Amino acid sequence: MAQLHAIRRRPHVDDGHLAQPNALIRQLLARRGVTSEDESLALANLLSPHTMLGLSEAAAIVTEAIVQQKRILIVGDFDADGATSTAVCMLALKRMGANNVDFLIPNRFDYGYGLSPELVTLAHQQHAQLLITVDNGISSISGVAAARALGIDVVVTDHHLPGDALPQANAIVNPNQHGCPFASKALAGCGVAFYLMSAIRAKLKQSGWFTMQQPMPNLAELLDIVALGTVADLVSLDSNNRILVKAGLARVRSGRCRPGILELLTLGKRRPQATVASDFAFAVAPRLNAAGRLDEMALGVELLLCDDAHQAKRMAAQLDLLNQERRALEQDMQQDALAHLHSLQFGDDNLPWGLALYDDSWHQGVIGILASRLKERYHRPVIAFADGDEHTIKGSARSIPGLHMRDLLELINSRHPGMLIKFGGHAMAAGLTIAKHDLAQFQQAYLTGIQDNIDESILTGEILSDGELSAADITLANAQAIRECGPWGQAFPEPVFDGEFYIVSQRIVGERHLKLVLRSHCGQLDVDGIAFNIDVEHWPDARVSQVRVVYRLDVNEFRGHQSVQMMVQQLEKL
Give 1's pLDDT tier (boundaries 50, 70, 90).
very low
In one letter, which amino acid is 465? S
Taking only the tens place, the pLDDT of each residue in 229-251 is 999 998 999 999 999 999 999 99
User: Chain-wide mean pLDDT for the chain?
Assistant: 93
Q: What angle do CA 81, 197, 242 make, to 5 degrees?
A: 55
Which of 115, 144, 131, 148 lies closest to 70 in space, CA to CA? Answer: 131
Do 126 and 119 contact (CB within 8 A), yes or no? no
Task: Using the predicted structure, report yes or no on whether residue 59 has a pLDDT greater than 90.
Answer: yes
Q: Are strands 153-157 and 355-358 parallel, antiparallel or unpaired?
A: unpaired
Q: 305-309, 355-359, 427-431, 549-553 — which is least confidently predicted?
A: 427-431
| Better pLDDT: 265 or 164 | 265
Compute how many other C-beta atoms are within 10 angstroms of the C-beta atom of residue 327. Answer: 14
- Cis amide linkage into residue 540, ω under 30° from 0: yes
Instruction: Give this prediction's pTM.
Output: 0.91
Q: What is the mean pLDDT of residues 296-313?
A: 96
Cα separation, 312 vs 249, whole angstroms:
19
Task: Please give the pLDDT value at position 559.
Answer: 80
Taking only the tens place, the pLDDT of each residue in 14-53 is 999 898 899 999 999 999 998 876 667 899 999 999 999 9
Distances (CA, A) of 517 to 379, 474, 503, 546, 565: 29, 14, 6, 12, 10
Distances (CA, A) of 247 to 190, 273, 452, 486, 492: 14, 14, 43, 11, 17
Task: Please give the pLDDT value at position 521.
Answer: 84
| Better pLDDT: 403 or 348 | 403
Q: What is the mean pLDDT of residues 518-545?
A: 89
Do 268 and 283 contact (CB within 8 A), yes or no? yes
Task: Using the predicted structure, report yes or no on whether residue 195 has a pLDDT greater than 60.
Answer: yes
| Better pLDDT: 510 or 91 | 91
Task: Using the predicted structure, report yes or no on whether residue 564 has a pLDDT greater than 80.
Answer: yes
Task: Please give the pLDDT value at position 38.
Answer: 61
Task: Please give the pLDDT value at position 155.
Answer: 99
Q: How many residues does the chain have?
A: 574
Task: Using the predicted structure, report yes or no on whether residue 354 has a pLDDT greater than 80.
Answer: yes
Long-range contacts, stretch 173-176, CB < 8 angstroms, 24+ apart: 173/52, 173/53, 173/54, 173/55, 173/58, 174/53, 174/54, 174/138, 175/52, 175/53
Of all residues in the chain, the percent with pLDDT exceeding 70 is: 98
Per DSSP, 3 falls in state: P
Strands (E), 382-461: 382-387, 392-398, 420-425, 429-435
Cα separation, 184 vs 241, whole angstroms:
8
Cα separation, 224 vs 245, whole angstroms:
8
Which of 498, 500, 496, 464 lies closest to 482 in space, CA to CA? Answer: 496
N-to-C CA span, the chain: 17
Cα separation, 155 vs 161, whole angstroms:
17
Q: Read off φ and ψ for residue 370, nearest 5 degrees.
A: -60, -45
Structural domains in the chain?
A: 6-39+463-573 (2.40.50.460), 43-250 (3.90.1640.30), 348-459 (3.10.310.30)
Task: Please give the pLDDT value at position 39.
Answer: 65
Task: Using the predicted structure, report yes or no on whether residue 296 has a pLDDT greater than 60.
Answer: yes
Kindly compute the dihedral angle of the four CA atoms of residues 224, 229, 234, 235, in this order, to the nearest 10 degrees: -90
Give 348's pLDDT tier (boundaries 50, 70, 90).
low
Cα separation, 89 vs 187, whole angstroms:
16
Cα separation, 97 vs 518, whole angstroms:
59
Q: Which H or E run contains 338?
A: helix 309-343
Distances (CA, A) of 366 to 161, 271, 275, 389: 23, 28, 27, 16
Cα separation, 58 vs 195, whole angstroms:
11
Task: Using the predicted structure, report yes or no on whether residue 406 has a pLDDT greater than 60.
Answer: yes
